[in-house]
Amino acid sequence: MPWHQLCAGKLMALVAQIQKICGLPSWQNDDVMSALCSQPPLWRTREAPSLVRVGIAITFCYGALVVCYWAGLSPGRLWVALTTIFVLVLSYLYWVGSIATVPEPGKQRLVIGFAMIFAFLALLLPALHTKDLYCYLNLGWRQFRYGLNPYVHPIGDVPDLQHDPMITPVWLENPCPYGFLFALVTRWLVTAGDGHFRSTLLLFQLMNTAAYGVIAWLVVATRRWLPGSKDDSVLYLFLWNPLIILLLLADGHNDVLMALAMMLAMYAAARDRWLFVIPLLAMGALIKYSTAVVIPFAVIEMIRRRRFDALLTGFAISIGLFLWTASPYLHDYRHFQPSATADNLFSTANSLESVLYYPFDMVMKPIPALRNGLPLLHKILVALFALFGCAALTTDYIRYFRRWSGSLVDFVANALFAYLLLTCVLAIKLYPWYFGGFFPLALLLEEGCWLRNLTILISLTGLITFTPLGQAHIVNYLLMIGAPVWWIARNQWPAIERDLRVYPALGT
């Protein structure tokens, strides 16, 4: 059952209970309730809402957000209140749009047309929620202007940085936490910006916007080469997703580049061009390291398909790509700062580990004799999560090899499952823009698939980051991850049990 039908069915069941308790007229004898299970409207009507009206309403929301942003309301309590309202409305409209109707064949053109408007408005909201976009600029600028190796020198090493208009004082003590390819990309964009702050920020956003458009095409094109029924909703689900618009386009997070490399690899696999799969996944890992969890699945696919020439050539290309991107930086490898990078990577934020850590923190911090034990507790939890993660992923790869089915859908499903496991369970630091890196994968699965429904719901609950709960680590995780997992498990458990037996690596 598609995600919007799942939500609507439960909401209307709740309405029926309220009607019964309050003694209101029941709809149970009306065919409206039965219609809700097939294509549920949000109000008591036989007609689905117009996609044009939904698009206009979403445009108004983004436009109002732009006005508030440039009116100087950010940051502040009023800004948090406004963004909370906007993300709730945008999530609701996204759901409405998923069941909206429009005469064919104009639907796809309508979806693309409004998406272009949303992307343009996102360009007017640079660094809407976080300062990561400024950090990318800092990363490139200290290479271009000062000739510093970003893996050795954090931005705090720049002399007289407070008088440099291109530098924003954030991440002062952190060396570059990203792959060599992304470090190169930041240097290229800053070089193209030629010392103009706003122009350089715009270049980063335009790069993400271009990736956004290419990913949309890849989702549709890859679906055509995968078995299964036609699904016209995938373009809408990606292009209109508020998390994609607000966090990957406006906020400018580089997860969209990782998603682009991933989708290019999936498209190459669907077209039986296995030579390019490993190099494309390597490109993703050289942007953000988490893409590496998919590489073993691709290797298994190529071994079982007996594409040994493509596998060896692909690894050779990947090694060459690594050496080329690393060459500007590796000459200083003895001065790299792995401990500082690890401290940043393993800092506790909004994760399952934070759910376990912060109760101890609240109890132990007020007691001087116990306070000094908190760093040790954190290290123990990190070690346990690392051991569990290695064991879980290794088991996943072994099962996939032993139970390989030859289906590319299984390849996609297991890649998505590994991403969800890494991001939502094993990661010590979890932020919602991470979801944008694997969200397009979910759209390659069949409509109604529990993995797809779970990913879509998580992309919406991830917008909690814009609300006052965004920094409430335990509550944030329980609402952002726990609630969607519970909802899907409760409503799609038979499908989950079936898939656990079908998917090679997910089975027991």
The tens digit of pLDDT for each residue in 140-177 reads 999 999 999 999 999 988 888 888 899 998 888 889 99
Q: Which residues contact 420 (CB under 8 A, 6 or more apart)?
A: 438, 451, 454, 455
C-alpha span between 193 and 203 (Å, rounded)? 7
C-alpha span between 360 and 462 (Å, rounded)? 25
| pLDDT for the residue numbered 19 | 41
| pLDDT for the residue numbered 287 | 97
> 241 near 94, Cβ under 8 Å?
yes
Asked, for residue 276, whether it belongs to a domain, the answer is: no
Q: Which two tokens stand for residue 422?
A: 């890494």
| pLDDT for the residue numbered 184 | 97
Distances (CA, A) of 166 to 82, 127, 149, 172, 418: 29, 15, 17, 14, 38
C-alpha span between 291 and 418 (Å, rounded)? 10
For CA atoms 151, 157, 159, 160, the dihedral sign is: positive
Distances (CA, A) of 155 to 148, 198, 378, 414: 9, 19, 27, 38
Strand partners, 429: 349
Q: Which residue reads 């193209």 in tokens?
A: 192
Q: Which domain holds residue 399?
A: 346-508
> 481 near 465, Cβ under 8 Å?
no
C-alpha span between 354 and 187 (Å, rounded)? 34
C-alpha span between 195 and 141 (Å, rounded)? 8
Asked, for residue 232, whether it belongs to a domain, the answer is: no
Asked, for residue 278, whether it belongs to a domain, the answer is: no
Asked, for residue 425, whether it belongs to a domain, the answer is: yes
Q: Which residue positions in the chain have pLDDT lower than 50? A: 11, 14-15, 18-19, 21-46, 507-508
Neighbours of 491 (CB within 10 A): 18
C-alpha span between 51 and 103 (Å, rounded)? 10
| pLDDT for the residue numbered 163 | 87
C-alpha span between 41 and 57 (Å, rounded)? 17
Asked, for residue 486, whether it belongs to a domain, the answer is: yes
Asked, for residue 145, whether it belongs to a domain, the answer is: no
Asked, for residue 97, whether it belongs to a domain, the answer is: no
C-alpha span between 95 and 91 (Å, rounded)? 6
C-alpha span between 93 and 87 (Å, rounded)? 10
Asked, for residue 141, whether it belongs to a domain, the answer is: no
Strand partners, 101: 50
Number of structural domains the chain divides into = 2
pTM (two decimals): 0.88
